[in-house]
Structures are given as C-alpha cells and as structure tokens.
Amino acid sequence: MGTTKFILAGAAAVTMLASSAFADDMTGMVTSINRLNNTISIQEVQKGTVGGSAGGAGALQQYKAKDPAMLDAVHAGDRVTYSVTDADGASTLTKLQKQ
C-alpha cells in the first residue's frame, strides 16, 4: 500500500510540473489562422542563447482560441508570445501578443 501511494504521489507531481510548463509564455511564429473555426497554428521558437545551436524552430501546433477576438490582431508570419492551457486533451490559447 505504501508503494502505491508513493507511485501515485510521483505521478501527481509529474502531472503538475508538465501542466505548469504550458503556463509559461512561449514564443513562436503564426503560420496560419482559421477565423471560422477560431484556430491558429504557431511554429514554436525554442529559446536558446545568442550564438548557441539550441535556438531553432520547434514543433508546429494548432490551438483553439479562448476568445476569437484575440486572432484579429495577428496575421500569418507574425512573431508572437503566447500562453496555452491543456484541458481535456485540447490545447487552448489563453494569451496572444504580437511582438
């Protein structure tokens, strides 16, 4: 019984850490916007040091906008900072700001 509690506590800690990663502001470039479905595709830009080889393009992700009006201020090709929450297996864009 003690081992089970330990494993469940560890799983809960990992889940909390993973979900907090989505709470941080990320940087990316808008690749497409579908205003009819309120979705946006963003190519994440990985953070790295200047001159380092760690900085580069990350994964392309599609998000549903929490508020459709937030998509009006951006266009494909814009660099943006954004925040995402993950609820019920769907990623929802909660903050979007053009750089």
Q: What is the pLDDT of residues 60-98, one digit of tens each?
A: 999 999 999 999 999 999 999 999 999 878 899 999 999
How wide is the angle at C-alpha 29 spanned by C-alphas 20 and 64, nearest 5°? Answer: 55
Q: What is the pLDDT of residues 42-55, one digit of tens each?
A: 999 876 655 555 55
- What is the spatial distance between Cα 62 and Cα 47, in angstroms, rounded to a whole number? 19
Q: Which domains does the chain have, with CATH numbers?
A: 25-98 (2.40.50.320)
Confidence of residue 34 (pLDDT cuts 50, 70, 90): very high
Return the pLDDT at 24.
Answer: 73
Q: Which residues contact 86 (CB under 8 A, 6 or more apart)?
A: 19, 22, 92
Q: Tell me the mean pLDDT in the region 22-30.
A: 82
Question: Would you call 85 exposed, middle or buried from its count of C-beta atoms within 10 A (0-12, 13-18, 19+)?
Answer: middle
